[in-house]
Amino acid sequence: MLRKFAEGLLFGAGFTISFVILVALGGSVLFGSMVPTSRWSASSGPVTTTQQIDEDEKKSSPFYELPIEQQIEEASIIALARYEPAEDGRMRAVLKEILKQKDGVTFYYQLGDEYTPSSYYPKSGTSYGDGIVIFFEGSPAMMRRAISYSGNRITGLGDMPIELFRDKCEKEAA
């Protein structure tokens, strides 16, 4: 009987140790990113200047948080699409103009093609504007941001006129 008790005690201890290890590993996976860390630069040790921190934050900011001038600079392709009605009642986003295209970028669309990720079925009471400005990045070009426009104004950019946006794209390309 004492032998059975000792075997049970060993089994329980082994089970408890295994459980504690699994919980510790799971916790480090789930909460490991919450542990404070210091920032280091490979060349100079800890990052201490505000300028270095600002540069790092710019690189790590999501595309849509960058200033519009930097978005235009970072984009490999900027396209303008207009919504056109389809036979099935859907509004098709059809590429009408390429405002910017970097040399050597692979782009799988041509003018007149439908950009299906931005096509939609209308809902009553909802306006999607007349079309969208689409920012692509990299090669092959991948969509990073789409902003609707109505009339000749890009609503998501503080009602910036499309002509002013076109000028900004041309200046970047030059």
The pLDDT assigned to 32 comes to 57
Q: For the whole model, what pTM was predicted?
A: 0.65
Is residue 16 included in any domain, yes or no? no
- Using DSSP, state whether 166 is helix, strand or coil: helix
- Number of domains into which the chain is organized: 1
Q: In Å, how far are 25, 35, 54, 55 from 168, measured between CA atoms?
A: 51, 42, 24, 23
> Of 14-23, 24-33, 50-59, 132-141, which range is least confident?
50-59
pLDDT at position 64 is 82
Please report whether residue 87 resides in a domain: yes
Quote the pLDDT of residue 27: 62
Q: What percent of the chain has pLDDT over 90?
A: 53
Q: What is the rounded (10 degree) CA torsion for 96, 99, 100, 104?
A: 30
Give the pair of three-digit tokens for residue 129.
């504007």
- With bands split at pLDDT 50, 70 and 90, how would you rate the model's confidence at 4? confident
Domain extent for 157: 75-173
Rounded to whole angstroms, the Cα distance separating 124 from 89 reads 13
Q: Is residue 86 part of a domain?
A: yes
Q: DSSP states of 103-156 as a string?
A: TT------TT-B-GGG-B---TT----SEEEEEEETTTTEEEEEEEEETTEEGG
Assigned domain for 154 exists: yes
Question: pLDDT at residue 124 above 70?
Answer: yes
Whether residue 40 is predicted with pLDDT greater than 80 in this model: the reply is no
